[in-house]
């Protein structure tokens, strides 16, 4: 009988956080519990009708039924460049400084394959979206975890990274607005990152997926808007969260043309691009979107206010987020992250995400997502108040 043994790179991986959450949710639901799921960051609202209509129309055109361009349709990449110029004041050369992605996760997962050799170090934040570390391991790189701590505003302290680590470091991942902490970065921090990258010859990969989910008139800065950023890095973005298109799998990377070309070379050998009818829909999403963005932000602002006020009343410590649709909450005394999350799921029927699932420095926190209606969020708060902790 054939002996199946997984590769060493797979043996290094913990269970994928959200797959494990699904397993636990299913076990509780099997007992007949009505689970309020605010664990995974997946918008509950539908994709806007005008975007769906553009897909349906394009899908009937035979010219879109053939293999797409590996780098993305020229019109899609031009639309990305227009979007960056309009919203962020960033000028991009679309055919050289933009590459389309099958969702930003795909690009993040592939970028180390283009530049990391065995033994190279990649600086990854912790707690963080798990793919930064996973992608490094898949490329036989060595992840060095930069702790994101409350006392530093959940920004990495670049000054404490050991000199020997910096000699081997080739890439740094950053993500602001941040998942899971909801922290934001300042232009001054990004300027420091550019200087750091130049000093140590480290390319910067910034995940900007939550840029449009911002509150109270705040506009999270783009790394690419930082002077010198185009020389040292790229930025990943996605239509997933902004336009309720998580299932559509469409995004992009933009920035330094050599880094973009390297990622494009990996992609041309791995995938065959994005269905062009979906790219047409993506162009529609980015066109004249101010009214849609205002509506989306108003919805999440209302939900944020309900949840943060309720958590405060319960005595659970958090800071109202300036961006993202996440709320990062400290666990109460007497619990660790996993213990309190289990309490909420098993006793209250509420699914949230343990902070330590995003990395060791996330211990002592849990993440809640604003991905259910305000009435459902209030019900979750009422359940916690009734059961206690």
Averages of pLDDT over runs of 10 residues in the chain (389 residues) are: 91 76 85 92 94 97 93 95 96 98 97 98 97 96 98 98 98 98 98 98 98 96 98 97 95 98 96 96 90 93 98 96 98 95 94 95 98 97 96
User: Six-digit token pair at 288?
Assistant: 């004249």
Buried b (16+ CB within 10 A) or exposed e, 83-94: bbeebbebebeb
Residue with tokens 């300042």: 186
Q: Which domains does the chain have, with CATH numbers?
A: 8-46+291-387 (3.90.1150.10), 49-289 (3.40.640.10)
Q: What are phi and psi of 350, to 5 degrees?
A: -120, 125
Residue 303: per-residue pLDDT? 98
Instruction: Please tell me the distance from the alpha carbon of residue 347 to that of residue 359, in angstroms, as a whole number.
Output: 25
CA distances from 197 to 19, 158, 173 (A): 35, 10, 11
Sign of CA dihedral 337, 342, 344, 350: positive
Angle at 70 between CA 65 and CA 141, to 5 degrees: 140
- Its pTM stands at 0.96
Q: Return the structure tokens found at 314.
A: 């319960």
Angle, helices 131-138/104-115, rounded to nearest 10 degrees:
40
| Torsion of Cα atoms, 246 then 217 then 321 then 128, to 10° | 50
Q: What's the confidence (pLDDT) of residue 61?
A: 96
What confidence score (pLDDT) does residue 70 get? 81
Sole residue written with tokens 């960033």: 90
Q: What's the confidence (pLDDT) of residue 12?
A: 87
Two structure tokens written together for 151: 């006392």
């Amino acid at each position: 009988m054939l002996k199946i043994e997984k590769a060493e790179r797979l043996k290094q991986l913990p269970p994928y956080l959200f797959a494990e959450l699904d397993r636990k949710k299913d076990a509780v639901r099997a007992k007949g519990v009505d689970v309020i799921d605010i664990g995974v960051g997946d918008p509950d609202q539908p994709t806007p009708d005008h975007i769906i209509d553009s897909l349906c129309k394009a899908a009937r055109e035979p010219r879109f039924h053939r293999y797409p361009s590996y780098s993305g349709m020229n019109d899609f990449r031009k639309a990305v460049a227009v979007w960056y110029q309009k919203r962020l004041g960033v000028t991009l050369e679309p055919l050289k400084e933009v590459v389309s992605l099958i969702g930003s996760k795909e690009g993040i997962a592939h970028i180390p394959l283009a530049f990391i050799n065995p033994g190279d170090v990649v600086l990854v934040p912790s707690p963080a979206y798990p793919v930064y570390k996973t992608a490094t391991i898949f490329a036989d790189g060595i992840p060095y975890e930069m702790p994101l701590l409350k006392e530093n505003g959940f920004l990495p302290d670049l000054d404490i990274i050991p000199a020997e680590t910096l000699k081997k470091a080739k890439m740094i991942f950053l993500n602001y607005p941040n998942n899971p902490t909801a922290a934001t970065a300042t232009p001054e921090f990004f300027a420091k990152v550019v200087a750091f990258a130049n000093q140590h010859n480290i390319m910067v990969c910034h995940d900007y997926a939550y840029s449009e989910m911002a509150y109270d008139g705040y506009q999270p800065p783009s790394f690419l808007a930082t002077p010198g950023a185009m020389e040292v890095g790229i930025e990943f973005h996605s239509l997933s969260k902004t336009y309720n298109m998580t299932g559509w799998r469409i995004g992009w990377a933009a920035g330094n043309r050599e880094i973009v070309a390297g990622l494009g070379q990996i992609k041309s050998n791995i995938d065959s691009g994005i269905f062009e009818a979906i790219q047409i829909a993506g162009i529609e999403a980015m066109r004249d979107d101010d009214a849609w963005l205002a509506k989306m932000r108003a919805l999440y602002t209302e939900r944020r206010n309900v949840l943060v006020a309720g958590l405060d009343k319960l005595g659970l410590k958090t800071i109202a987020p300036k961006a993202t649709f996440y709320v990062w909450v400290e666990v109460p005394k007497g619990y660790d992250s996993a213990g309190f999350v289990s309490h909420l799921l098993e006793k209250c029927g509420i699914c949230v995400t343990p902070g330590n699932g995003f990395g060791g420095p996330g211990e002592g926190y849990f993440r809640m997502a604003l991905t259910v209606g305000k009435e459902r969020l209030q019900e979750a708060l009422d359940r916690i108040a009734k059961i206690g902790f």
